[in-house]
Amino acid sequence: MRNPTGKTAIVTGAAGGIGGEVAKLFDRQGIKLVLTDINAAGLTQTARGLTREPLCVPCDISKPEDVRALVAAALKHYGGVDILVNNAGIIMPALFEHCTYEDIERQVAINFLGAVTCTREVIPAMRKSGAGHIVTVSSMAGLVPETYSAIYTATKFALRGFNLTLAIELKKHRIGVSTIFPDSVATPMLRYEALHGGSPLTFLSPPQSPALVAEAIYKAILKDKVEVSIPASTGMVSKAIMCWPWAVTKIWPLLEYLGNRKKPALAEQLRQSLPE
């Protein structure tokens, strides 16, 4: 998709930090927007920052009937769907032994099954138009384990396998599939992690801006990138170390120690600078 101007994009999690920045960037590039989130008030706030009025559709992506209604609304309003950005996600930090079944099911339902459902529902529209692109925002936790977030990590690992498979299967339909692996990003979700027992590994490096992730998503569409890590160096190291899984159990305690040393200062910074 060399020139997405005039195309139609669905962006999930559009009330959040990354989703809001994706909406702004796509708006500047002349992409028609369908914004969705469970947070209707947040959608309205995102829409206010755009030059053109988007179609805002409140939706719980863990409910297939909501997703079907979302895609139907997009088709009715714009006549097609060319781009899907699977951005919605949640995290409930805790040691796995302390996780409730409700927390486990909610993270799997939104982070993995929600993205799967959105993807499944847009494929017929993309096939009909003869092309499309699906981008999913994973996490560096989709490449390496993130302690205190075992279920979150599992969903992000699952997304990688799912999308790599689709990149092969959907190529014949001229539908590109990309997965984005950001390190920690300065969003309200990171603030929540910092104040509610998030993994020390999340705080090893200063968080990146959501705008940087939005730019990576846009470039992945333009260049048909299968995987993009942000920063690229962290992604390369993460993929390399996973060639020796035994080393992970040896190195991670040291990384946790370093992350815990940095976490209090960063948590205070996030508490003051970001909304709840």
What pLDDT does residue 48 have?
A: 94
pLDDT in tens, 124-169: 999 999 999 999 999 999 999 999 999 999 999 999 999 999 999 9
What pLDDT does residue 152 have?
A: 97
- Tell which residue, 63, 169, 166, has the closest CA to residue 118: 63
Number of CB atoms found within 10 A of residue 276's CB: 7
List residues bridging with 133 in a β-sheet: 83, 176
Compute the average pLDDT of residues 18-30.
Answer: 97
pLDDT in tens, 53-104: 999 999 999 999 999 999 999 999 999 999 999 999 999 999 999 999 999 9
Is pLDDT at 276 greater than 70 in this prediction? no
Spell out the CATH class of 8-233+244-273: alpha beta
User: Please, is 88 exposed, middle or buried when counting C-beta atoms within 10 Å of its C-beta (0-12, 13-18, 19+)?
Assistant: buried
pLDDT in tens, 235-267: 999 999 999 999 999 999 999 999 999 888 888
Which residues carry out catalysis? Answer: 152
